[in-house]
């Protein structure tokens, strides 16, 4: 199975599929079609039915049941890769790791080290796939795609394993928060599903942030600085003052676990025009509302302070904590926990401190917790995937399907 995982992941990560938040098309980039079409072809070759790649980049397929009366399970992964680090010209490297530093790129002096990433110490004896130090790897989420495809292939090769209908879904644009926007839950026809989009071994997540996005725009007045007294309105300076008014410790780099945060994702501007985007996150619904209210109050205070400027706020909810839906019926979580226990894997129940399609899908009527993939250090040149843990993720998918028949 390891060789099959290496072969598939190597092929998939070489296909550039970065999404683009500034695009209005669906998918947001045409290159996502490149992988989707490859997957559609492979699903048909495996003999799956109902293989359907629609006009918006949602690829569904069915492994037909061999046993009657069972629930229909779904397994989902997204094909796009992150926008915050390049995914063009990925050159994966396969390494049998025995400890110490991993030189990713000798010419550029880029190394993956346990000093910088202590999590690496837990992978001695593993086969790892890394980058060449110039791109991300794309294991987020091509590791999940690989594991689903490999699990389905295994089930086809082992018809003695009883199962109901298994629905497969590969989706676009998760990295820019749009993955579930056009996902047709009724068409997918699953009782519940799993996103295979987590990180280290054993992760099982059914809690996510409540999430909102804020955009603040400041319009000032540009005047020659030599004659600017009482006429210049410096939008860039006002914007920086607004950003600095938020608690520096209430940010991603200073929070963990169930702590929420404010996160300025980008800012641009000059004297005439300036703007920044911020994401707002909290697990608790009440605290989430307070955070949004705080953003509004901060902006209102600067509107009062600088009446000569035009300051505008756009504030929109993005998704909600999927726990509110999933805890009504914990069957998918209990099934995954049992599958891991049967495989000798300790389930690590923890909240998702990031986006997951499962949040929006759960509120659309498809309860969707998240499973580990075996990847680490996503969204950058130090990303890697443990092929050993990918094998365990694949086995977990198979075991969940098997247990569903019992």
What order do you get walking across the sheet with 375-376 strand by strand? 93-96, 127-130, 384-386, 375-376
Contact 133, 108 (CB under 8 A): yes
What tokens were used for 178? 């749009």
Which of helix, strand or coil describes residue 4?
Answer: helix
Please name which of 111, 128, 145 lies closest in space to residue 384, comparing C-alpha atoms.
Answer: 128
Which of helix, strand or coil describes residue 89?
Answer: coil
d(CA 50, CA 74): 14
Please name which of 187, 140, 174, 146 lies closest in space to residue 27, comparing C-alpha atoms.
Answer: 174
Q: How many CB atoms lie within 10 A of CB 51?
A: 19
Q: What H or E segment, with its residue span, contains residue 344?
A: none
CA terminus-to-terminus distance, the chain? 25
Question: Which residues have C-beta within 8 Å of that of residue 2, sequence separation ≥ 6?
Answer: 127, 387, 388, 391
Is 197 a residue of the active site?
A: no
Of 174, 203, 207, 376, the catalytic one is: 174
d(CA 353, CA 361): 17
Of 16, 20, 80, 140, the catalytic one is: 80
d(CA 122, CA 97): 10
Which of helix, strand or coil describes residue 249?
Answer: coil
Q: Rounded to an integer, what is the distance from CA 228 to the centroid of its chain?
A: 47
Share in percent of the chain as helix, strand, coil (round to 5): 35, 25, 40
Torsions phi, psi for 31 (to 5 deg): -70, -15
The radius of gyration of the chain's CA atoms, rounded to the nearest angstrom, is: 23
Is 308 a residue of the active site?
A: no
Half-sphere exposure of 247 (CA within 13 A, CB side): 13
Torsions phi, psi for 108 (to 5 deg): -95, 0
What residues are labeled active site?
80, 174
């Amino acid at each position: 199975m390891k060789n099959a995982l290496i072969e598939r992941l190597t092929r998939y990560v070489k296909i550039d599929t970065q999404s683009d938040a500034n695009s209005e098309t669906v998918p947001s980039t045409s290159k996502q079609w490149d992988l989707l079409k490859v997957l559609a072809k492979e699903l048909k070759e495996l003999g799956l039915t109902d293989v359907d790649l629609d006009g918006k980049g949602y690829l569904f397929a069915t492994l037909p049941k061999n046993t009657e009366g069972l629930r229909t399970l779904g397994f989902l992964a997204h094909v796009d890769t992150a926008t915050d680090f390049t995914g063009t010209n990925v050159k994966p490297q396969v390494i049998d790791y025995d400890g110490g530093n991993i030189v990713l790129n000798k010419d550029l002096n880029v190394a993956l080290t346990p000093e910088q990433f202590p999590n690496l110490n837990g992978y001695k004896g593993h086969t790892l796939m890394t980058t060449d130090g110039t791109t991300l790897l794309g294991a987020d989420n091509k590791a999940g795609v690989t594991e689903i495809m490999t699990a389905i292939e295994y089930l086809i090769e082992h018809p003695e394993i009883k199962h109901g209908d298994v629905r497969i879904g590969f989706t676009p644009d998760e990295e820019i928060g749009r993955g579930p926007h056009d996902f047709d839950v009724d068409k997918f026809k699953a009782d519940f599903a799993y996103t295979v989009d987590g990180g280290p071994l054993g992760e099982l997540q059914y809690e996510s942030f409540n999430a909102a996005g804020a955009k603040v725009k400041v319009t000032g007045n540009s005047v020659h600085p030599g004659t600017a007294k009482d006429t210049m309105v410096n939008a860039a300076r006002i914007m920086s003052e607004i950003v600095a008014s938020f608690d520096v410790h209430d940010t991603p780099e200073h929070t963990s676990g169930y702590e929420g945060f404010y996160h300025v994702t980008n800012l641009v501007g000059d004297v005439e025009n300036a703007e920044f985007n911020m994401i707002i996150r909290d697990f608790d619904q009440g605290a989430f509302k307070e955070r949004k209210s705080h953003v509004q109050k901060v902006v209102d205070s600067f509107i009062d302070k600088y009446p000569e400027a035009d300051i505008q706020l756009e504030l929109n909810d993005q998704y909600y904590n999927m726990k509110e839906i999933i805890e009504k019926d914990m069957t998918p979580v209990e099934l995954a926990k049992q599958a891991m226990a049967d495989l000798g894997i300790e389930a690590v129940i923890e909240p998702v401190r990031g986006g997951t399609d499962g949040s929006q899908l759960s509120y659309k009527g498809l309860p969707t917790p998240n499973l580990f993939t075996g990847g680490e250090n996503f969204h950058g040149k130090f990303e890697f995937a443990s092929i050993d843990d990918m094998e365990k993720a694949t086995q977990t998918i198979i075991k969940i399907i098997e247990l569903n028949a019992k």
